[in-house]
């Protein structure tokens, strides 16, 4: 029994450390992208490939703008495109979460997730 408990503790410790390392890795990427702009985005690559069907020599022309120079309306529009009620709920759509719980209970399985 003691051996089993010891292995359980080791496994749990390993899991916690792996989770911690994963979060540190993600945080490292957040810090990296804070100071370095990407060369392209997936959206830019898709649009370029669509354009190259008609114009094979097409090139991307881009100019990065400082975050402070981007319109507040554009920033909100981007957030609204992901979550239309984000400005109202600030992160957790409690109505959406409650609705998802009710739908999941009614169906007896996961059919909807809450909006965060």
Taking 70 as the threshold, does the pLDDT of residue 114 lie above it?
no
Q: Tens digit of pLDDT for each residue in 3-58?
A: 888 999 999 999 999 999 999 999 999 999 888 888 888 999 999 999 999 999 99
pLDDT of residue 27: 96
Structure tokens given for 55: 């114009």
Task: Determine the Cα–Cα distance for residues 103 and 105; give it in Å rounded to an integer.
Answer: 5
Q: How far does CA 9 lie from the centroid of its chain?
A: 32
Alpha helices in 1-116 (DSSP H): 2-35, 42-54, 72-82, 86-89, 94-107
Domain map (residue ranges) of the chain? 71-116
């Amino acid at each position: 029994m003691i051996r089993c408990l010891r292995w359980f503790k080791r496994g749990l410790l390993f899991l916690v450390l792996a989770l911690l390392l994963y979060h540190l890795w993600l945080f490292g990427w957040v810090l990296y992208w804070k100071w370095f702009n990407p060369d392209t985005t997936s959206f830019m690559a898709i649009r370029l490939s669509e354009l190259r069907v008609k114009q094979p020599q097409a090139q991307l022309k881009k100019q990065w703008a400082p975050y402070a120079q981007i319109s507040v309306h554009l920033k909100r529009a981007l957030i609204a495109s992901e979550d239309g009620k984000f400005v109202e709920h600030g992160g957790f759509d409690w109505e959406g979460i409650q609705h998802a719980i009710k739908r999941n209970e009614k169906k007896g399985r996961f059919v909807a997730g809450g909006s965060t």
